[in-house]
Amino acid sequence: MKVAICISLFMIVLSCISCKNDISDDQNNQFDFTKLEDVENAILGKWEFVLATGSVHGTIEHKPAGYVEYLPNGHFAWYDYATKKYILYEGKYWIDKNYEWSNTVYQIDKGWILHYENPRVFSEVFGEEIFMYEYYPDKPHGNQLLFQFINRDTHSLFCIDLAPSIMKLPDFIYKRKK
């Protein structure tokens, strides 16, 4: 009986040590959300829009229409689940701390700004150059988005382009697609 109790206590101590090592390993593997290089690397991959929070309608679960894929060198793509098409956009994205509003550049302290390039294209309908947005169905409107990691596999986007509007805009919550 004493041997069984000793073995049980030994196993409990081993599992506690193992558990503590797992936790510290987890903490060592976390990246620093304040370093641009870490954020740029962490965004790479496939992301699905799964939740809208903070709007006048409360929290709304969202069934993803596809996934956005952030690729190296600022390229991004969209895979549409319904059509099974993969679209690599010509426009690019980048991340920094600055956003522009009314020709004034502002800098944020908390989070990052995710910019989508807004290329000028020629419209044959109007016969003039107009702004055209790269758009995929699960993207918030706008091209300057407040970007914050919740954890390594979850981030939120909030449209800064429309922030002064009178309606309360939601945060778009994305989960990493594995």
pLDDT at 70 over 90: yes
Instruction: Please tell me the distance from the alpha carbon of residue 14 to that of residue 8, in angstroms, as a whole number.
Output: 10
Bigger pLDDT: 82 vs 16: 82
pLDDT at 164 over 60: no
Computed over every residue of the chain, the mean pLDDT equals: 77
| pLDDT level of residue 6 (50, 70, 90 thresholds) | very low
Residues 125-161 pLDDT 10s: 556 655 555 568 888 888 899 999 999 999 999 988 7
Find, among 27, 83, 1, 52, the residue nearest to 157 by Cα.
52
What's the confidence (pLDDT) of residue 69? 96
| pLDDT level of residue 23 (50, 70, 90 thresholds) | very low
Mean pLDDT of 157-174: 79
Contacts with 111 (C-beta within 8 Å, 6 or more apart), sequence order = 146, 147, 148
pLDDT at 41 over 70: yes
